Structure 1
Amino acid sequence: MSFCWEADVTSDFGSISSLSANDDIETYVAIHESSAVPLTNGEGYEMSNSDGEAPVSKQEVQPPLASSSNKPGPEMGQKSDKVILARPVPVGRPSRPRFEHEPLKEKGEEIRILTILPNKSDNLSAPLECKIRHVSIEKARGYTALSYEWKTNVAKASILIHGATFAISDNLKHALLIMRHHGHEDMWVDAICINQRDEGEKSAQMKRMYEIYQQALEVAVWLGPAADRSNEIMDGLARISRTANHRLTLKELPAPAETEAIDKFLSRSYWERVWIVQEVAAGCSVQIYCGSKKVSWEYVAYLSDVWKEFRQGEGKLLLACTVCDIRASRIHYERKPKDTLQILSETRHSKATHDEDKVLGLLGLTSDWARYNTEIDCSQRPRDMCLSMTAGAITQSRSLDIILLGRKLASQKPFVRNGELLDNQRPLPSWCPDFVHFMPSRSEEAMISYLGNQGKRVFGKHRIRLSTTGSSTLRNVDFKLDLSAEVLQVRGLEIGLIKALGCAANEDAGHLNQDESEFQVRNRDDEAIYNALSRTLLMYDEEYDFYGESPTFLNWFTQGTYQSWFGEEDHRDVYSWFDNNEALMIHGKTMQERVEWGKKKWIGPRTFVRKVFELPQAVFQRRAQPISFFAEGHIVAAIRSALDEGLRLMTIDRHRRIGWATEGAMVNDKVFLLPGCTLPVILRPRANKGGYSLVGHAYVHGVMDNEVWSQVTSSQMLELVKIY
């Protein structure tokens, strides 16, 4: 075996390196194989569930199981002879009674703790015997919270709780056997400690989930039985953990077989489940169990970091790396917790058996759930939850910014629960984000950090917050949200119709889309249009205000870009984009003609001489001047940022406006300013239905800093806009 685990050690003995794993480590093969052998009740009968039901996700229905007393038991750390007896339940053939839960105290003040009794035999897969008790959550201490994958919807195995049977999945049985082997007694296991048949209890306990894992003595992560050389990986990590001042690196590139083994270890199906993200992030002490092996979380996190660096540029997604990053962020940046939109974006590829779990399983990690004014309800349909969250965000904040992440005109993915399509599969309204299938585009990702007040600019301007319609705290945001009709009504100001659309960075000139009327325009205000075009292209530059004062850069920049066709990749891409958009009509003239006008206006002997004298000062100050060689890099980066988000140049029929449109916009879409929305929105009239559908947001030169909205003196100037 040649995994190259290198440990840099500062000690009297120098450096220890090239620690390799052992190929012949014993595993619990017997345990793994025993999953096919059902446990019996001591009388030769299999422990089966006569109802044919089984737990299938963190909040799904558990087979008819469980019983415990409603009397609180001793506090954690104390033992008591008082146990909670099971009620016998007839099952149609000779067998033990099934265990049934007794109710917890209301308001989620209690949790159940499962105690695994010691193994009295030498058989590692001997039947699991347990007890259960109720404990105040405020005083619960000293227990281990299990994080695992539910895997199957068939409970093929079982355990004994106070002598009564409780059906569980094979994967959970394996996990509990390993926990017993490692000496764990007091456990919190969701499938057992929550009555999966009680929707009210599930909702109440879900609110406490983060707290339960946070105050556990240990969070035990069960990756599953040993497979695909996982023992070698675990042994290598364990050896690293025993060195002083450890630092995990890969000494050399692994052989293909080893690469595949690490990929499989970090790609196990455990990492895909959305619930484990919160469970791992909450734990104060996290241990990884795989087969019979155990290692501290930090060494798996190191492996994840090294592997990300090794795989950099391949575009391969490993959800284990996402989980590690979220936990690291939670530990090191606790003072700046992430908001709901950020967490949903980062976990977009995680999976859940119930669609609503994609949101509910992450609530403990969010800092702003109260903003959505939505009760945690396990019985709520995912579509209704999305509508409720959007309505809550609008009414709580008195802002419409959340609609900028709406479904828009994208096709609606079906909502699923327990692998089956739910009925009433109507698409969400265009203004409502699909928080369940949350897959933001590049443009929307920039919007998420902007809306979350994370100190990011949605554009490159010095001001972090834009104000197309002024501050919502200074104006009364008048809107009506009718959830029954699923319509948002608001009075807005129409900026105009989109009359021409350029092609995106990945499109050729054949994708130019422009209204024939654009070819008939004869606009002589060339200087104003040239300046507007230049400043629109500069939208993403951090020194927008500086460059915007002297937009003559466009002439010099285009010349420099043409000449740099064989230069850096960014320059070539921007040149190619310019080339494909040369024929775009911008209020009566093509973009190429607009650039040529600038050359005639601004470039001449006097300008050249002046810039020659400015160049030494620019070099000395290391500050980019509008037409200096330093400016070109800034401008290329600004345009490239817009192109990376899939934006397209657009012209608007009124007031010779120019801007950027998001993906999906079409000619004859309308651009509006809406009160409470910090960016212009693109709306599309609904054919023969009235009202509009939301297309996306826009950047429009000359309206982004309240220039137009401040002139609105009466609501009579506004149009009643109905968005469906």
Structure 2
Amino acid sequence: MSKAFLRDTVIGSTLDLPSGKNVTVSRWKRLWEFTGGAFVDGFKDEPLVAPKPRYHKWVDGYIADENHENTECGPPFCYGPLPDSQKHMRLLQILPGAPQDDVRCFMYSVALEDCPEYEALSYCWGNATDLTSILINGHSLDITTSLRCALFRLRKLHEPRTLWVDAICINQGDVIERGNQVSIMGDIYGHTTRTVVWLGSGGEDSKRAFKICEQLAKEAIMLESNLDPSTDNLSFPEYDKNDSCLDNLVDDCPWWRRVWIVQEIILATDALLVCGSNEIDWKVFCRAMDRLISAQLTNGVVMGLVEQEPYRWYQSIISMRSLSSTNSLGDRLLDLLIHVREREATNPCDKVFSVLGLMEGNAELMGITPDYTGSTEEVFKHTAICILKHSSTLDIIGLAPTNAKDLPSWAPSWVYEGEIPKPMRFDARGNIRATHATRGTSPHLDVREKGSVLVLSAHHIDSISDLADVLPIFDKEAGWEEIPDPDEDAGAMEWFWSAFADIGQASGHMLAITNRLRTFISWENFVGSSKDQEVPYWQTISAGCGLDDTTSMAALYHEWHASLSPIRNLVRWRVDRVTTNSLFKSLGFMGYLKSTWNSYPEFGMLIEAQAAGRRLAKTKKGSLCLVPAEAKQGDSIILAKGGRVPLVIRRLDSEENAFESWTLVGECYVHGVMNGEAFCEEDCVDIRLC
């Protein structure tokens, strides 16, 4: 098919393509003009190269460019108000069209109880400044390019498709309407026939990932039926742990990090994952992922240091499905907020509002409703107060950071700004902490001065006298996937030595890890070598994990302690302090690495769960404790009614406060007091936290 032939052919005639499909020349000519003369390989008889080729692919015989803009424009779209009488929403119909046609839609409002069948679209909004227009009811509405791409790909050829799309069906410029619609979002997702998850345009990686998931799901079904996949006609190729296609689909795809998707998936009656032209049922995908994780087919140990949680964004959604609904309302909401804390939200208030639909209508009973008219700080503070009033513990104030701006020290900020320590509400194994430092008492609190002051009933038990180094939180997403496994890659050790030859490349990974491991050795020196300090030491750095089986935990500790011998020798020889220390540190690290690559001791993982982001300390009375990184000498340790764990507080300048006031530094573990040994309810007095 030559350029001249296309240029000169009479519009309206028909071409027989090599594939056997017939396409009118009028469409070919439009495609020719649109792509600047670029056609898909195999359908041209001479080279046709556009100066700047655009992304295109075959869809039903036509060249489809999902990134092109609408050619037609209308007057700006204006939203009308939704009726106030009952629950109403808007639905969007994507009108049918061929791939080269503009995206045209029809939108109308409907009562939720009388709505027709519709699907909900779950997607990543994308760059808010990268906008393009679509036609709705003959009017132009600007939406993000990523959303237009989704609508373009989901459009049907011959019939309309009815969707609920939050960015379009909610008037984003009306904060009152937005709050009202968010408050019924649980109902909106509960009424859908299906939630369609748009993961992006995808490519060969996503196609391969979906195929692997289908194979893993079939394998899981056969294993559940006690059948051996190897004896069946189905072929299950061995999963390659170094294949990054699933990582790209799950860990690297921005959709998984969005805070709203948790509610969208959990409340969905059914769900379909779509990536480009590939799709897979959510239940099939879950079966495949569970098979992948349970069979330990993923890379879990990173450079012999820490076991990463594979596909943590996916696992977070699954774990939230099983959160107990028998807890108090405050505790349930707190657990939901903890699970979404690291997720992303354009509006920080959505960290709270996005999980209210999972409260089964009880959020309103707590006094929390979506309200976008207030500031982020007001939303966070109000949420903390409501949780405290409807909770049986003080767990929420243990999540409050010391550097949150415009918030009292006891009110958590749900804005995620990097790695944060795990809350002590849970033990090192992820279970609700069994011990209770105030003997199961209920909180006795009073909120004063327009929500700026929290008065607790508590008493002082000790103060901090000495501090050790902070154990840094290990960055699990620092590019470790390129590091080879010495058990599977014969060239792995050569890779390490070549990396060490370039200190600039090595220092960011190996030496940083060596310095981190040195923290454990410095903690040993901080505690001392006395035999009677061994048990308090391992119980403190694990924050009391395994107190019901001290024999087994002691064995795990000794295994982990032995793995640090190369680093301990490094410190003993003091070569780590040599000026040109890179090679010596590398040698110590390599000795540690060799013994722990695929068998990082379990006790080490327990430390990561509780001690990371905290520091070891001693109290004035001689107790070992695990305290916040921000703790200072002289800080007071208190036990407050309702507190599962002790709290570290710091006295505020009396000149700035008419009453004696304190700021909360954070929660802590103090050896010997975690079962209420030091709590005396009669000694409690009012303590003001600002």
Q: Report TM bin, short chain.
A: 0.5 to 0.7
Amino-acid identity (%): 23
C-alpha contact (below 8 Å) 2:422/2:609 kept by paired residues: no
Deviations 1:591-641 (A, max 9, x none): xxxxxxxxxxxxxxxxxxxxxxxxxxxxxxxxxxxxxxxxxx999999998
Q: How far does residue 149 in structure 1 lie from its aligned partner after superposition?
A: 1.9
1:86-134 superposed Cα distances (whole Å, 9 cap, x missing partner): xxxxxxxxxx333322221227601112223333xxx323123333332
CA distance in 2, matches of 1:185, 1:396: 43
After superposition, the Cα gap between the structure-2 partners of 1:645 and 1:210, relative to the gap in structure 1 and judged at 3 Å, is: same
Aligned residue type for 2:410: W
Equivalent residue for 1:137, pick from 112, 115, 132: 112
CA distance in 2, matches of 1:455, 1:671: 25
The CA distance in 1 between the partners of 2:381 and 2:147, in whole Å, is 35
Coordinate RMSD, CA, aligned: 4.9
Partner of 2:264: 279
Q: Does residue 65 of structure 2 align to residue 33 of structure 1? A: yes
What is residue 127 of structure 1 aligned with on the other side?
A: 102
Q: Report the CA distance shift for 1:250/1:132 in structure 2 as closer, same or farther (over 3 A).
A: same
Query: How far has the Cα of 1:320 moved from its partner?
Result: 10
Alignment of 1:404 with 2:394, yes or no, is: no
Letter in 2 for 1:395: K
Structure 1 residue corresponding to 2:632, chosen from 658, 666, 672 = 666
1:466 aligns with 2:436: yes
State how far apart, in whole Å, the 2-side matches of 1:399 and 1:493 are. 16
Corresponding residue number in structure 1 for 2:416: 437
Find the partner of 1:686 among 644, 649, 652. 652
| Matched AA of 1:695 | V
Q: Aligned to 2:237, which of 245, 251, 254? A: 251
Question: Structure 1 pair 481/30, CA: closer, same or farther in 2 (3 Å)?
Answer: farther
Q: Does 1:698 align with 2:659?
A: no
User: Where does residue 351 of structure 2 map in the other structure?
Assistant: 358
Cross-structure match for 1:181: 156
Gaps of 5+ in 2: 1-40, 43-55, 224-228, 230-234, 472-516, 573-600
Q: C-alpha distance in 2, partners of 1:544/1:241?
A: 38
Tell me, yes or no, if the aligned pair for 1:373 and 1:393 is still in contact at 8 Å.
Answer: no
Q: Determine the structure 2 residue equivalent to 1:482.
A: 449
Is residue 263–residue 357 contact of structure 2 (8 Å, CA) maintained in 1? yes
Cα offset, 1:216, TM superposition: 0.6
What's 1:603 paired with? Answer: none
1:376 aligns with 2:337: no
Secondary structure of 1:213's counterpart equals: helix
Q: Secondary structure at the match of 1:165?
A: strand
Change (3 A) 1:637 1:487: same
Separation in structure 2 between the aligned mates of residue 535 and residue 294 of structure 1, nearest angstrom: 48
Name the aligned partner's letter for residue 497 of structure 1. S
Q: Does 1:220 align with 2:210?
A: no
Residue type matched to 2:263 in 1?
A: Q
Post-superposition offset of 1:401: 3.4
Counterpart selection for 1:169 from 144, 150, 169: 144
Q: Could you say which residue in structure 1 is the equivalent of 2:559?
A: 568
Secondary structure of the equivalent of 2:65? Answer: helix
Q: Secondary structure at the match of 1:435?
A: coil
1:197 to 170, 173, 185: 173
Q: Give the corresponding residue for 2:46.
A: none
Q: Deviations over 1:475-509 (max 9, x none)?
A: xx25343346x232345322233223456675277
Secondary structure of 1:339's match?
helix
Change (3 A) 1:681 1:575: farther
Whether 2:506 is the aligned partner of 1:540: answer no
Question: What CA distance in whole angstroms lies between the structure 2 residues aligned with 1:467 and 1:704?
Answer: 4
| 1:260–1:580 Cα change, 3 Å | closer
In structure 2, give the amino acid aligned to 1:33.
Answer: D
Q: Are residues 438 and 157 of structure 1, via their aligned partners in 2, closer, same or farther at CA, if it must alter by over 3 Å?
A: closer
Structure 2 partner of 1:599: none
Q: CA deviation at 1:352?
A: 2.1
TM-score, with structure 2 as normaliser: 0.64
- The answer on whether the counterparts of 1:110 and 1:136 sit within 8 Å (CA) in structure 2 is yes
Question: 3-state DSSP class of the match of 1:466?
Answer: coil
**TM-superposed deviation, 1:148:** 1.6
Q: Distance in 1 between matches of 2:258 and 2:62?
A: 27
SS in 2 for 1:666: coil
Aligned equivalent of 2:477: none
Taking a change above 3 Å as real, the CA distance of residues 356 and 250 of structure 1, as seen in their structure-2 partners, is farther
Structure 1 counterpart SS, 2:76: coil
Q: Structure 2 CA distance, aligned partners of 1:209 and 1:430?
A: 32
Go from structure 1 to structure 2 and tell me whether the alpha carbon gap of 1:163 and 1:478 turns closer, same or farther (over 3 Å shift). Answer: closer
1:399 Cα offset (Å): 5.0
Corresponding position of 2:88: 110
Q: Does 1:150 align with 2:125?
A: yes
Over 3 Å counting, the alpha-carbon distance change for 1:704 and 1:329 in structure 2 is: closer
Distance 1:511 1:539, change over 3 A: closer
Give the counterpart letter for 1:325 in structure 2. Q
SS in structure 2 of the partner of residue 479 of structure 1: strand
Change (3 A) 1:317 1:373: farther
Is the 2:241–2:299 Cα contact (8 Å) retained in structure 1? Answer: no
Equivalent residues in 2 for 1:314-393, closer than 5 Å: 314=302, 321-329=311-319, 339-366=332-359, 369=363, 373-393=367-387
Deviation at 1:275, TM superposition (A): 1.9
Match of 1:494 in 2: 460
C-alpha displacement of 1:212: 1.3
In the aligned structure 2, how far is the partner of 1:677 from the partner of 1:284? 39
Query: How many matched pairs?
Result: 534
Specify the code of the residue in structure 1 equivalent to 2:465.
K
After superposition, what is the alpha-carbon deviation per residue over 1:324-364, rounded to whole angstroms, capped at 9, x for unaligned? 33454466778679933333333344222222223322332
Contact kept, 8 Å, 2:649 with 2:662, in 1: the verdict is yes
The alpha carbon displacement at 1:527 in A equals 14
TM-score (normalised: structure 1) = 0.61
Deviation per CA, 1:157-176, whole angstroms, max 9, x where unpaired?
43333333333333222322
Q: Which residue of 1 aligns with 2:13?
A: none
Residue of structure 1 equivalent to 2:641: 675
Contact 1:341 / 1:448 at 8 angstroms: preserved in 2? Answer: no
Letter in 2 for 1:569: W
1:51 aligned partner: none
User: Matched residues in 1 for 2:607 and 2:161: separation?
Assistant: 60
Q: Distance in 1 between matches of 2:220 and 2:534?
A: 64
Residue type of the alignment partner of 1:104: L
Aligned partners of 1:706, 1:31: CA distance in 2, in Å?
71
Counterpart for residue 299 of structure 2: 311
Instruction: Work out the CA distance in 2 between the residues paired with 1:642 and 1:152.
Output: 36
Does structure 2 retain, via aligned residues, the 8 Å contact 1:39–1:157?
no
Q: Aligned runs of 1:627-666 on 2, under 5 Å?
A: 646=614, 648-653=616-621, 659-666=625-632
- The 8 Å contact of residues 460 and 638 in structure 2, kept in 1 or not, is answered as yes
Give me the whole-angstrom Cα distance separating, in 1, the residues matched to 2:104 and 2:610: 62
Distance (Å, rounded) in 2 between the aligned partners of 1:398 and 1:263: 40
Counterpart secondary structure, 1:36: coil
The answer for unaligned runs of 5 or more in structure 1 is 1-22, 41-46, 48-95, 413-425, 459-463, 515-525, 548-552, 582-632
Q: Secondary structure at the match of 1:492?
A: strand
Alpha-carbon distance in 2 for matches of 1:663, 1:244: 44
Alpha-carbon deviation of 1:471? 1.7
Whether the 8 Å CA contact 1:228–1:264 is kept in 2: the answer is no
Give 1:678 shift: 3.4
> Is the CA contact (8 Å cut-off) linking 1:497 and 1:671 kept in structure 2?
yes
SS in 1 for 2:425: helix
Letter in 1 for 2:340: T
Paired with 1:706 and 1:456, the residues of 2 have a C-alpha distance of: 19
Q: What letter corresponds to residue 204 of structure 1 in structure 2? A: N
CA 1:216–1:661: 2 relative to 1, 3 Å: same
Counterpart AA for 1:361: S
